[in-house]
Structure 1
C-alpha cells in the first residue's frame, strides 16, 4: 500500500502548501475567529492565539504531515504502521471527516445562496430579520444549494490530487487572499452615524479588535480564552482529523517539510487575522459591539445588515465577501472528502474514480438529510457542553468538540512517549534540512500538548464547566 499511483502526489512544495492552506482556511476562519476575538478580549485573544499557533498548533500540524509522508498512507493505516496497538486511533481519525462531511456542504450551500442573492440584485432581502431562518427552514432551497456544493466538491476529488485538488487550490487561494485584503482595507475606511448622532468608524473597530481588553479578567476567564483559542486551532489548521496526514502522504520526499509547515502557519494565521480586520471594524461601525453575536448569525445575519447599511457599495462588498467565503469553504470541503476517499481507497484497494462516485452519492444523501434538519427532520438535543443542537450541531459536536481533542491527546501520548519524538524529527530532517523548532516540538509533544488536550477534552464533555465560572 506504499505505492502511489501516478498523479496521486502534489507536484511540489507550492502545490502542497496551497492545498494544505486551502484546507486550513475555511469558514471557521471567516466567522468563528472574528467572533472569538470580539468575545475574548480582542488583542488578548490574538496574542494567546498567535502563541498557541507557534507552539501547540505547530506541534499538531508537524505531527500529522510528517506521519503522512513517512508512512505514505492515509490516517487509518498510518497509525497502525507507527504502532499496531494504535490501529483504533486511525479508525477514530477516519471517522472525524466522515462526520464533518455530512454537514460541511450544507454550510457551503448556505453561503452559495447568499452569494446568489447578492449577484442577482436581491441584497436587500438578505438583510431582513427573518431571511436566514426562512431559508434554512425551507424544505427545498437549502437542499438544492447543499447538493450543488457537494456535487462540485465531488467533481474536483474525482479529478485527483494534482489535476483536481492542487489545480483548484493554486487558483483559488491567491484570489481568496486578494479578496480578503480588499475588503479589510475597505472596512477601515467606513464611517457611520447613528440616528442619535453617535459616530463610529472602522478604525475605532480596528482598535477594539487589536487592543487587549483585560476588563474582568479572572483565572477562570483566562483559562476559557485559552481553551477557545486552542479549539479554534483545530478549525484553523485542519489537524487531528486525518486531512493533513492524507495530504502529507502526497508530499514528495525532496520537499522541505519545515519550510512548508512555516508557510502554512503564516498563510492560515494571516487569513484569520485579516478576517477579523475585515469583519470586526465593519460590524462595529454600524452596530457597535452588539452585532458580534455567536455562530452563524455573525455571517448570515449581522453582516448582511452591515452591507445593507453601506448602501450601493455594500452590494458589491457583500457579493465579493460571499464569493470569497465560497472559495474558503470549497477548499476545506475538498480536503474533508479527500481524506475519506483516500482511506476507503486504501481499505478496499479500490480505484479513486469508483470510490469518489460512491462516496459522492452517499454524501449527496447525507447533505440532503442534514439540510432538512431545520425543517422536516428537526430535533432538539441537549449536548454535554450545555448547548442545544439540531442534526448539524450534533455532528459538529461529536467530530470537533469530542473526537478531535481526544484524538490529539492520544496521538501526542503515542508520539511523545511510545514511538518517541525522534520518529517525527527524523522525517522532518530526511531532506538534510535542519528542523529549527525541534526542541519546541519535543517539549510540546511530550509534556505540554497532552495536558492541554486533556483539559480541552474535559471542557468538551462539560466537566470543566463545573469548575470554570
Structure 2
C-alpha cells in the first residue's frame, strides 16, 4: 500500500524539478561560460553534454527515486546496505549549499528594494562590499552581524520552512506552480525590454558569434559538461527525493527530457537577456562587449546595478523585475535543497515532517547566519568553490561508478523506466552512464585537483590570492571533506523502520 507523500499532478512534479534546476547559476553563470567557450559554437558540445550526461543522469536518478521510493539515504540503503552513506553524503552537500544559497537570495531581496530608488548610487561596487555587506574584516574573521543581510535572510527561511512544513502537494507543488510561471513571465519581460535597448544587437552578436575552432579544445567540452552537470541539480539527492513522490505510473523518461530541455531553454533565454544588457552597457561606455562581460556575484550585484543606472526610462522597475527573478529562481532551488535533508531525517528517524523541517531546516538557518556577518562573503566564496567543485563533482563520479560499475544496476534501471515510459531507452543510455559520464567527470576532477593541489597559479596562496592558507584549509578543504565524513557518521545509527517512514506526513496531507 502506497503511504508515501505524492505529487498532486504530473505538472506539479515537472515544475518542481525545473524549479530545482533553474537557479541563480542559469542567470549569472551560463551566459559567461558560453561566451568564453566559443559563443554560438559552444552549443554543440553543450547539447551533446545534455544528451549524453544531463538527461541520462536525470533518468537514472528519477528511476532510482521512483523504484526504491525513498529519500537519498533510503534509496541508497535499498540498493545496497553498504552504500547508505553516499545518500547522506549527497544530503549533507545539499545542506551546506542551502546555508549560503539562502544568503544570496537575501541579497537579491534587498537589491529588489534598493532598485526602486536606485539606492546603490553610482559606485555599485563600493556600495555592495562596503555599504551593504560591510565587508571590512580580513578573510577568516567573522566580525559582527550585518542587519541589512540578516533581516531578509530571516524572511527567506521563514518562507521556505513554511512551504516545506505544508508538505509535498500542499507546499512544494503549490509554490512551484506559482513561482515558476511567474519567473518565466518576469524574465520574458526582462528579455523583451533588453533586446530593444541601444547596443543590444552588438551584445547578442558577441554572445552567438561562433568560434568553431574552440570546439576542438578539450577544455571547452569539459566546460560544457560542467555547466550541464552543475545546472541540473544532479548528485544532490534532489531528483531522487522528488521522484520518490511520483505515483506508480509515471513517464520517467519523458519527464527527464522535459526537465532537461526546460532548464536549457531558460539558460538560453538568460543568455539573450544578459548579453543584450551587456551590449547596451558597452555601447554606453564606448568599449567592446568583452570588456564588460562578468559572471557570478559581480554580474548580478555590481554590473547590473551599474547598467540599470543608465537605463532609458523605468530603470527602477527593470531593476526590481531583475532581482525579483533572482529571488524566485533562488527560492525554488532552495526548496529542493532543503527537502533532501528534511526527507532524509523523516525517513531514517521516523519523525514527523514538522520535526524534520524544524531540526534540519532550523539548523541550516542557524548555520546561514555565519554568511550574514561582516566576514561572511569570504566564507561564502570559499565554501561555494570547494563544495561545488570537489564535493559535487566527486559525489557525481562516485554515484555513477557505484550504479554502473559496482552494483551494475543500469540494465535494471533502464528496464524499470522502459516499463512505465513512452520513450524507450536505447543503446545511448548505458553508453552514457557506463562510459561517457564517468570518463568526463574523472577528467574534470583530475583537472581540478591538478590546478588546486599543485597550486599552478603564481599567487601567495595558490589559487586564492589574498586568502590565508589556513582559511582555505578549514573553510574549503575541511568543509568539502566534512560532507563525506558526516555522511559516514549519519549512516551508522540504525533505522527505526526500513519501511517508508514518511507515512505520517502523507496522512496529514491526505486529510
* TM-score using structure 2 length: 0.81
Greater than 3 Å deviation, 4+ residue runs: 2-5, 433-437, 462-469
Aligned to 1:195: none
1:131 deviates by: 1.4
Preserved contact between residue 12 and residue 255 of structure 1 (Cα < 8 Å): no
* TM-score using structure 1 length: 0.88
Note the alpha carbon deviations across 1:253-307, whole angstroms, 9 max, x for none.
Answer: 1121111111111211110100000101211221222221232101111111111
> Over aligned residue pairs, what C-alpha RMSD do you find?
2.2
Is 1:236–2:231 an aligned residue pair?
Answer: yes
1:132 deviates by: 1.2
Preserved contact between residue 414 and residue 425 of structure 2 (Cα < 8 Å): no
Note the alpha carbon deviations across 1:412-446, whole angstroms, 9 max, x for none.
Answer: 22222233311211221232x34434321110111
Q: Which moved more, 1:282-291 or 1:459-468?
A: 459-468
Q: Distance in 1 between matches of 2:103 and 2:450?
A: 27
Is 1:137–2:144 an aligned residue pair?
Answer: no
1:123 deviates by: 5.0
Q: Distance in 1 between matches of 2:201 and 2:320?
A: 23
Q: Distance in 1 between matches of 2:388 and 2:267?
A: 19
Q: Distance in 2 between matches of 1:124 and 1:407?
A: 40
**How many residues were matched structurally?**
439
Aligned to 1:109: 106
Preserved contact between residue 286 and residue 306 of structure 1 (Cα < 8 Å): yes
Question: Match of 2:294, SS?
Answer: coil
Aligned to 2:54: 57
1:9 deviates by: 1.1
Is 1:157–2:158 an aligned residue pair?
Answer: no
Match of 1:411 among 390, 399, 405: 399
Match of 1:207 among 199, 205, 208: 205
Matches within 5 A, 1:19-418: 19-119=16-116, 121-123=117-119, 125=121, 128-134=124-130, 135-137=132-134, 139-191=146-198, 201-214=199-212, 217=214, 222-287=217-282, 288-372=289-373, 375-376=374-375, 390-417=378-405, 418=407
Q: Distance in 2 between matches of 1:395 and 1:404?
A: 12
Note the alpha carbon deviations across 1:181-222, whole angstroms, 9 max, x for none.
Answer: 22112211111xxxxxxxxx211211211121257x496xx2
Preserved contact between residue 150 and residue 363 of structure 1 (Cα < 8 Å): no
1:76 deviates by: 0.9
1:154 deviates by: 0.9
Q: Distance in 1 between matches of 2:370 and 2:348?
A: 27
Residues 155 and 273 (structure 1), Cα distance of their counterparts in 2 relative to 1, 3 Å cut: same
Residues 465 and 360 (structure 1), Cα distance of their counterparts in 2 relative to 1, 3 Å cut: closer
1:38 deviates by: 2.2
Q: Distance in 1 between matches of 2:181 and 2:384?
A: 29
Match of 1:462 among 432, 447, 450: 450
1:143 deviates by: 2.0
Unaligned runs of 5+ in 2: 136-145, 283-288, 458-511
1:466 deviates by: 6.9
Q: Distance in 1 between matches of 2:422 and 2:414?
A: 10
Residues 316 and 171 (structure 1), Cα distance of their counterparts in 2 relative to 1, 3 Å cut: same
1:346 deviates by: 1.1
Q: Which moved more, 1:74-83 or 1:271-280?
A: 74-83
Residues 184 and 437 (structure 1), Cα distance of their counterparts in 2 relative to 1, 3 Å cut: farther
